């Protein structure tokens, strides 16, 4: 099953831009998913298990940091890239 996730990441500290770009780069370098970014969020699309494993592996070390980090996610059980420009 292919799903789409719209993800916004807000590191609440000074080096936020570098950390956001590094997280997006990790997503973009995964061969089995599609990624679209805009000024407010990143959309990722791919197999359900792949996306959830990628999110867990990418978010867990960030959430374990001493700094405050916020993730906001919306999940769609369809391929949405054809509808988003």
Q: Where are the domains of the chain?
A: 2-76
Across the range 7-15, mean pLDDT stands at 92
Average predicted confidence (pLDDT) for the chain: 92
The CATH number of 2-76, from 3.40.50.1000, 2.40.100.10, 3.30.70.930, 3.40.50.800, is 3.30.70.930
Q: Are 13 and 67 in contact (CB under 8 A)?
A: yes
Residue 80's pLDDT is what? Answer: 84
Across the range 36-57, mean pLDDT stands at 95
pLDDT exceeds cutoff 70 at 85: no
Percent of the chain with pLDDT strictly greater than 90? 79
Q: What CA–CA distances, in Å, run from 72 to 5, 59, 69, 82?
A: 10, 12, 10, 22
Percent of the chain with pLDDT strictly greater than 70? 95
């Amino acid at each position: 099953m292919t799903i789409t996730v719209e993800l916004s990441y807000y590191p609440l500290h000074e080096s936020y831009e570098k950390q956001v770009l590094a997280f997006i780069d990790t997503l973009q370098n995964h061969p089995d998913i599609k990624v679209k970014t805009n000024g407010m969020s990143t959309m990722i699309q791919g197999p359900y298990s792949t996306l959830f494993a990628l999110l867990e592996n990418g978010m867990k070390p960030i959430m374990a940091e001493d700094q405050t980090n916020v993730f906001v996610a919306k999940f769609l059980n369809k391929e949405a890239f054809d509808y988003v420009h």
